[in-house]
A and B are shown apart, each in its own frame.
Chain A
Amino acid sequence: MTYIAKPKLRHPRLATNKFGFTHRDYEGAVSTLCAGCGHDSISAAIIQSCFELNLPPHRIAKLSGIGCSSKTPTYFLGSSHGFNSVHGRMPSVLTGANLANRDLIYLGISGDGDSASIGLGQFAHSVRRGVNMVYVVENNGVYGLTKGQFSATSDRGSKSKKGAANLDAAVDMVMLAMELGATYVARGFSGDKSQLVPLIKGAIVHRGAAFIDCISPCIAFNNHSGSTKGFDYVREHNEAVNRLDVMLPREPITAEYEPGEVEEVAQHDGSVLRLRKLAEEYGVHDRIAAMNYLQNSKAAGEIVTGVLHVDPEADDLHDNLNTLNAPFNKLTEKELCPGSAALEKFNASRR
């Protein structure tokens, strides 16, 4: 396999965002995934989200583990630094990177094998530490890259392409993220970009551990009848509890809604999440009620999508550690080294 660069020809009429970047500036190399893979739609949604949020591409760092899903950071944000780490360990690398420079936006891309099997521990601990990040699991219920083995998010009873039934219980990443204290939790579907883009934007503007479980069918190994992660199955069973718009600070509020239908959630950075409720009984702030709702829907065979929980007052890891506001990687000897006089004193205390 070789690297295929996308021609950087700029169409004269290509729309630019507030910083003068075009959509192209957020793209990456040409994808080498299977044509029709759900993961490519997620990459496209990420590109659109960053474009619409006017993010300078170099202020984003994209990190991943190993898998088809983890390959995707090559296919978006070509001007951002990227890091394909090792299988299941993206969260720790992202945590360390975030400690070194709190000023960047950290995008963690993972798969269900990467995060629910080998990396379950790192997923859990990064979430419970409140690392300020956007953690996306591109969930196809299968190991794509190693050719079709069941993953830990495969539903019990679902069938592999060869017809074998999965006998193990499924790990529900959304429920885990809620339980572990993620402060922004969403579920999306790669086949519904209009829903997914705002979910990603909402996660980016949120400060704290934001987690998105994005169902992303694997057309090569998990899109047959008997699969519960295929396009048809998900379309049939998808229940969206809300629709989200993300309004940037000082942006005029364009969409008008009936009062009572819409809830506005202000984020730390001044942006506002406007949530249009679709399910009357669903409240995004009440973690416990949300978890109950999700459990009941799951028992009824439904796949609930939308913003499932958000806590706009969240603290992140840096708050907890009370670290300096400036990035650590900019500190110099002057700020870091106590110097020879202090050392002399120290020596004296050990005689």
Chain B
Amino acid sequence: MPQPKVNDFVIKFANVNGSGSASANQLFAKSILRMGVPVSPRNIFPSNIHGLPTWYEVRVSEAGYLGARGGVDLMVAMNPQTWDRDVLGIEPGGYLLYDSTKSLPPSKFREDINVIGVPLTGIGTREYSDPRQRQLFRNIIYIGALSALLAIDMAEIEKLIREQFSGKDSLIAPNIQALHLGHAYATENFECPIDLQVRRGDGVGDKIFIEGNEAAALGCVYGGATVAAWYPITPSSSLAEAFELHCRNYRSDRKTGKNRFAVIQAEDELASIGMVIGAGWNGARAFTCTSGPGISLMQEFIGLAYFAEIPAVIFDVQRGGPSTGMPTRTQQSDVLSCAYASHGDTKHVLLFPEDPHECFEFASSAFDFAERLQTPVFVLSDLDIAMNDRLCEPFVWDDSRAYDRGKLVSHDELEAGAEFGRYLDVDGDGVAYRTYPGTHPTRGSFFTRGTSKDRYARYSEAGPDYQDNMQRLLRSRPRDPSCQNRWFRKHASRRNWG
């Protein structure tokens, strides 16, 4: 008899896009987490809204492995369209769970796998009259069956259902009922558990389970972003959408309803980055989020922000390129096009988060870097981190942490007679002081331009002025000694900058 695989196997759900399977599958993954066992799920989805196949692959790994292992130990085959290749993908000796309401010819199965037929549609039809409920609860019924087959504690799933539907209490009982229907069928008809088992562990601790985009969005809220301008593109859209949701929660005045944020869905990526640059120039913390095609469109503006020294934060959630490429598949395809974005000599600051925890951390710090260095800062994640729930360290915030607004000259300093030249390298670190528009009636104004200029921001095509400016920009890049950001000092080794 083979040894059961405990807390180390891969289960894959083959679903039809739009069938309501996503929340049921997430419920499954979370129930394993609640048993203290790490999982790493992955959405595999096409560039389509309804009707095409999707998969949800869950790697259960007590050791905490995150990568796709390859191979499938248990396939929940809910999609007739992909049946053949789904069945083929199962490891020899593995399991196939399918809807056995209609019988299938033996040719549809394999000799070397274990077949578990549960009449999901049959049970649903018997128990529910509403067609939408029949479809939705079919998903919960297979979760119930799986809990028996894999020895997942039903109490954990019930608890999750209660949490999920708190406030919509009428949905709790029917969901739990569906869960029990599946559980009962599996217990009565099969020997449970099978050779794939979940056993309580302590691999989860206080870790949280979240998508990178949502983490980054929350990081933007904590980092003080007030302006977000974006143009929809997978896999970055959910970042902007999550930002707006979090802002409605944290940044709407409870009494007046007034918002301390503005989210603009722009007409294209050129406008998105233009708005971010305008806001940054005027002293607001602003960001945009996009993916490869958007980065291509933003190039000219990114050069302007670099050369005119305007803070901006750009999230590039990478996907498969070139061109439209594979919009719903992951790739780290934009590293070079971000590092040297725009024509002429530019070099940009890039941050590479490895998980949602760092998406939060880097997002909240990116605004400090952008304002401290007065330049565009890129946060490069990818679809894999951004659109899949990942188990990661919880977010932390030190309430004494102050935003680093960079080098600014205030009204009072101007009034007291401070000399001001927008591109004067006063501190010798390459970063000059700036003023916000409207600071002082007669002092401190300057003209921002994408053309070459002298230290007082005046148009100049003189060779020495150009050289002086370009060299100062280089100087400002890697070694800004006055950078007080703790995160920066801790994490960013100098050779990563530049």
Please list the residues of chain A having a beta carbon within 8 angstroms of any beta carbon in chain B.
Answer: 1-3, 25, 56-59, 61, 63, 73-74, 78-86, 89, 91-101, 103-104, 121-122, 124-125, 129, 321-325, 328-329, 331-333, 335-340, 342-343, 346-347, 350-351
Contact = CB atoms under 8 A, between A and B. Distances in A.
A74 B259 contact: no
A296 to B, nearest CB: 32
Contacts of A340: 396-399
A61 B282 contact: yes
Contacts of B76: none
B442 A58 contact: yes
B353 interface: no
Q: List the 9 closest A-B pairs by CB distance, nearest first.
A: A96-B278, A92-B274, A329-B283, A100-B284, A96-B275, A81-B437, A100-B282, A93-B278, A96-B279
Given A101-B282, A121-B267, A333-B402, A81 B222 contact: no
Contacts of A323: 258-262
Most chain A beta carbons < 10 A, residue from B251, B262, B263:
B262
A93 B274 contact: yes
B387 to A, nearest CB: 16
Contacts of A85: 274, 277-278, 304, 450
A100 B229 CA distance: 12
Contacts of B226: 99-100, 328, 331, 336
B304 A338 contact: no
Nearest to A73: B447
A343 B397 contact: yes
B437 A92 contact: no
Given A86-B450, A92-B270, A350 B210 contact: yes
B352 interface: no
Contact of B395 (A82, A333, A343): A343
A79 B262 CA distance: 29
B5 to A, nearest CB: 25
B403 interface: yes
A84 B448 contact: yes
A58 B210 CA distance: 46
A336 B251 contact: yes
23 contacts: A58-B445, A81-B436, A82-B446, A83-B281, A84-B451, A89-B274, A92-B272, A92-B275, A96-B279, A99-B227, A99-B279, A100-B226, A100-B281, A125-B271, A129-B264, A323-B259, A323-B262, A328-B260, A331-B226, A337-B222, A337-B397, A338-B221, A347-B206
Given A3-B460, A61-B438, A333-B403, A93 B277 contact: yes
Contacts of B261: 323
B348 interface: no
A155 B273 CA distance: 33
A336 B397 CA distance: 13
A284 B498 CA distance: 57
Contacts of A89: 270-271, 274, 301
A325 B300 contact: no
Nearest to B443: A79
A8 B208 CA distance: 63
Interface string B426-448: 00000000011111111001111
B276 interface: yes
Contacts of B263: 321
Given A58-B445, A100-B282, A121-B271, 13 more contacts: A81-B438, A85-B277, A89-B270, A89-B271, A95-B278, A96-B281, A97-B279, A99-B262, A122-B270, A321-B263, A333-B224, A335-B260, A340-B396
Most chain A beta carbons < 10 A, residue from B260, B282, B395:
B282
Nearest to B253: A324
B414 to A, nearest CB: 10
A338 B440 CA distance: 32
A3 B461 CA distance: 10
A339 B396 CA distance: 9
B304 A80 contact: no
B218 interface: yes
Nearest to A105: B438
Contact of B397 (A80, A121, A339): A339
Contacts of B275: 92-93, 95-96, 99
Contact of A328 (B250, B262, B458): B262
Interface of B is mostly: loop
A78 B446 CA distance: 8
B441 A347 contact: no
A56 B218 CA distance: 39
A328 B438 contact: no
B360 to A, nearest CB: 9
B109 interface: no
B250 to A, nearest CB: 4
B80 interface: no
Contacts of A325: 258
Contacts of B401: 333
Contacts of B253: 324
Nearest to A57: B441
A343 B222 contact: yes
B72 interface: no
Contacts of B66: none
Interface string B238-254: 00000000000011010
A329 B398 CA distance: 22
Most chain A beta carbons < 10 A, residue from B33, B264, B396, B403:
B264
Contacts of B402: 333
B299 to A, nearest CB: 11
Contact of B282 (A2, A329, A335): A329
Nearest to A124: B267
B274 A122 contact: yes
Contacts of A351: 33, 206-209
A121 B462 CA distance: 35
Contacts of A338: 221-222, 250
B280 interface: yes
Given A83-B281, A85-B274, A96-B280, A339 B399 contact: yes
Most chain A beta carbons < 10 A, residue from B206, B261, B271, B446:
B271
Contacts of B222: 337-338, 343
